[in-house]
Amino acid sequence: MKEKILHLLKEYEKSFISGQRISKELGVTRTAVWKYINILKEDGYKIESVSKRGYRLISSPDLLSFEELNEKLITKYIGRNIMYFQTLGSTNNKAKELALSNAPHGTVIISEEQTEGRGRLGRNWSSPKFKGIWLSIILRPDTDPLNVPKVTQVGAAAVIKALNELDINAYVKWPNDIILNEKKVCGILTEMSGELNKVNYVVMGIGINVNTDSSDFPEELKNTATSISLETGKYIKRKELVSKLLNSFELLYDEFEKEETIKTSVSICKKNSILLGKEIKIINRGKETYARAVDLSDEGELMVQYTDGIVEKIVSGEVSIRGLTGSYTPR
């Protein structure tokens, strides 16, 4: 009911709508309307109440609910079903649970806070309330399981595209990190449930440090992690960034699923790569080797050249990649 009342307030934008009209349209008492209006105020909505005129929405908080995101979404299926939570252990875990319950393709799980956020290789991810973007997307691609790692490049390209639309220049540290001013600002975690030749579902988790303060990061991460606001000096509207991210993701994902290519995503990741042309350390099952990152293949694989001149393709998910100097300054 709260969402329906909010929808009516937004429909009338900044003009007044009477409590009687809300009551009549929604089939609830005026007392119930008053009760839900107060709940909305507690959520951060500024609503003016005037006797004999009704209620008027003045402004909305930066929440990531469907009602707040919908007006800027131009997608057909990504985010058309949004499951919104105040607190979750992990959006990826919730997404996998919902995927098993037949949640539709394109369902987005968003939480204002994660208490057990995690990144690739099981690393912890700090996810403070109302300060970042913690979301997961349920996908059901009709493709060979071997193609699923490509989706990570789609996610990385979508994040870069969305940030660029906000005049923020960030870089991709293949395969799943987004770097801003040499520090990690976003991580992507892609997980799959499938059989030998069938994908049951894919869950893509995206965590972005948006307005996170330096005090929110654990001491051991302060030299390697950052937030968009810390680097730009500006408060970023999270709902604007999420809308742009989901719009970009659907556009790029359509190319993957319908045209069976990630050409556009690879182009974006290549143009904004922070590794290409650099010496890197490749960590695979505890073994370390050194090479130069030379290119991204059309399939999103990292092309590396070893000291003996041999060029090899590295598939996303196989290895951990690190720079030799700790510097990510793009060339």
- Indicate the annotated binding residues for biotin: 90-92, 114, 118-120, 184
C-alpha distances out from residue 239 to 144, 236, 246, Å:
34, 9, 11
**Rounded distance between C-alpha atoms, residue 158 and residue 141, angstroms:** 17
**Rounded distance between C-alpha atoms, residue 166 and residue 157, angstroms:** 14
Which segments are annotated as binding site? 90-92, 114, 118-120, 184
C-alpha distances out from residue 146 to 49, 96, 149, 150, 226, Å:
57, 19, 7, 9, 33
Phi, then psi, of 137 in degrees rounded to 5: -115, 130
Quick one: tokens of 171? Answer: 């870089």
82-85/108-111 β-pairing: parallel
Characterize 251-280 residue by residue with b for buried, 16 or more Cβ atoms within 10 angstroms of its Cβ, and e for exposed. bbbbebbeeeebebbbebbbebbbbbebeb
Q: At residue 331, what is the residue type?
A: R
